[in-house]
């Protein structure tokens, strides 16, 4: 999180162009997760976690860029968006790192 936000802050590059890609990726991950509820394929679950890690990293860049460039006026909503991104990133990383355990 610190590395991605620091990159977006120091370069001042506008990452608003990745918003559409992130939204479509989120829809694809949601559809695959819904399908995995019925199929219960462990490899698909790991692939979904890896995709969510990449998506949340992109969302951190996107949201931080929107905050820097004035795309967000309500800072409470911006804070909640970043918190949700960090939470989803953390949960997906835990799933990826703990897939070999029996729990």
Residues in the chain: 103
- For residue 68, give every residue at least 6 positions away whose Cβ sits within 8 Å of its Cβ, in sequence order, or none: 8, 9, 12
Q: How many CB atoms lie within 10 A of CB 21?
A: 12
Backbone angles phi, psi at 41, to 5 degrees: -95, 120
Structure tokens belonging to residue 33: 């997760």
The one-digit pLDDT tens for each residue of the chain (103 residues) are 889 888 888 888 888 899 999 999 999 999 999 999 999 898 999 999 999 999 999 999 999 888 888 778 888 998 999 999 999 999 999 999 988 776 5
Tens-place pLDDT, residues 78-98: 899 999 999 999 999 999 998
């Amino acid at each position: 999180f610190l590395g991605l936000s620091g990159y977006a802050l120091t370069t001042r590059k506008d990452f608003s162009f990745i918003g559409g890609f992130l939204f479509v990726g989120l829809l694809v991950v949601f559809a695959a997760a819904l399908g995995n509820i019925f199929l219960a394929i462990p490899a698909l679950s790991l692939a979904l976690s890896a995709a969510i890690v990449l998506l949340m990293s992109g969302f951190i860049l996107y949201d931080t860029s929107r905050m820097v460039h004035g795309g967000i006026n309500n800072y409470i909503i911006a804070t909640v968006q970043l918190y949700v991104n960090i939470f989803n990133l953390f949960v997906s990383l835990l799933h990826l790192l703990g897939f070999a355990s029996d729990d």
